[in-house]
Amino acid sequence: MKALIVSHKFHPGHISHLVANYKLLDDVCIEVSFLWDSRFNMFISDEMDVNISTRGGLLLLKKNDLFVVWFPSLGALFDMVLLRIIQKGKIVYIFHEPFDSVRSYLQSGFGFGKTIKIVMASFVNFFLVKCSHSIILPSNKAYETFKQKYRFNGAFVRLPLMFDDESKEVLEIENRCYISYIGTIAEDHAFDDYIKFVVYCLESNLFPNFTFLIATRSTLDLCTIKLLSAFKADKRLIIVSGEPMSTQAINDYFSKSVVVWNAYRRSMQSGVLPKAYMFGTPVIVRESNPSEYFIDGENGVEVSENCSSIDICSAIDEIVENYSHYSICCKEKFINCFYYKSQSNEFLSFIVDGQ
């Protein structure tokens, strides 16, 4: 059996999923190739014997070979349509973000213009679903939304996002220095609440032993840059933005963080949460956006809906005071839930047998 793992959309954070999927399939002697944006090539380690395919590889697939699409794109839709026409390949789509409603995006802080773009993107996902033989949803929210909003005659299942374990060690709190926001800046990620918290702490000289970190490929808006400019000189605030970061750099930030921001207003799934767990790093979560992968008092601390700076400070104080407990629980959650070897049997059973 052969498998093509597909991602025409480039994002450095996506490489972890793609490599984990490669290793899961390679472990059971499935011949794996990547059909992806060429910029992913730089992230492949020397020990991986990776085959890079072109669209011509679609024609070499047999009927029961696997075509695993990780992220939506028009390129992936073209591939799927072609495979359906030539009746080759079993198409598996990992569907991260089923569309629920316009209201949910507006209430999460998206403006009307961005919400319209999301609606347009949902039409691409609609056709990707229609072309798929099997669908994997990464969370309960995604699974339930998919059942309610989409008509699909094939098999679908809830399976967590998969990762390889990229951590060399889990650092003790003495070796951690960051209170971090890591990942894409988006309205529903409540970046504005994180900024309010940072300003509050820096003005009050709170958490003097830690540095506040913003690590994102997104570009900060001018208002935020102006607001934070007064604090950069004292070296208690580090901003890394505007360009893709290497996997090594991203991992270093997670590894050296005492806590990572995950107090999102809305999310179907979060790649930041399992990545933090990988390094034994607790998270801050908003009570109005619960996840089945988070237990308050074990994997971090839940804060109230208004996400006040005082609440966040109290949550971090609790985490710092009991750090070993939180860190151990996070690492255990990663190994038992997100580590690709822990879900190998279920993933293989589903994509091969549809069960």
Instruction: Tell me the C-alpha distance between 179 and 162, whole Å.
Output: 25
With H, G, I as helix, E, B as strand and everything else as coil, classify residue 70.
coil
Q: Within 10 A of 158 (CB to CB), how many other CB atoms are there?
A: 16
Angle at 175 between CA 171 and CA 181, to 5 degrees: 85
Quickly list DSSP for 162-223: -B----S----GGG--EEEEES---GGGTHHHHHHHHHHHHHHT-STTSEEEEE-SSPPPHH
Task: Classify residue 299 by its DSSP letter.
Answer: T
**CATH assignment of 173-337?**
3.40.50.2000
> Is the pLDDT assigned to residue 324 strictly greater than 70?
yes
352: left (phi over 0), alpha (psi -120 to 50) or beta: alpha
**Where are the domain boundaries for CATH 3.40.50.2000 in the chain?**
2-164+340-353, 173-337
**Tens digits of residue pLDDT in 83-97:** 999 999 999 999 999
In the structure, what pLDDT confidence band is assigned to residue 72 with cuts at 50, 70 and 90? very high
User: What does the pLDDT average to over 333-350?
Assistant: 95
Instruction: Tell me the C-alpha distance between 282 and 176, whole Å.
Output: 12
The confidence score (pLDDT) of residue 108 equals: 73
Query: Which homologous superfamily does the CATH classification assign to the domain defined by 2-164+340-353?
Result: Glycogen Phosphorylase B; (3.40.50.2000)
**Tens digits of residue pLDDT in 106-165:** 877 777 788 888 888 888 999 999 999 999 999 999 999 999 989 898 899 999 999 999
Rg over alpha carbons for the chain, rounded to the nearest Å, is 21
In the structure, what pLDDT confidence band is assigned to residue 354 with cuts at 50, 70 and 90? low
SS3 content of the chain, % helix, strand, coil (to 5): 45, 15, 35
> Is the pLDDT assigned to residue 355 strictly greater than 60?
no
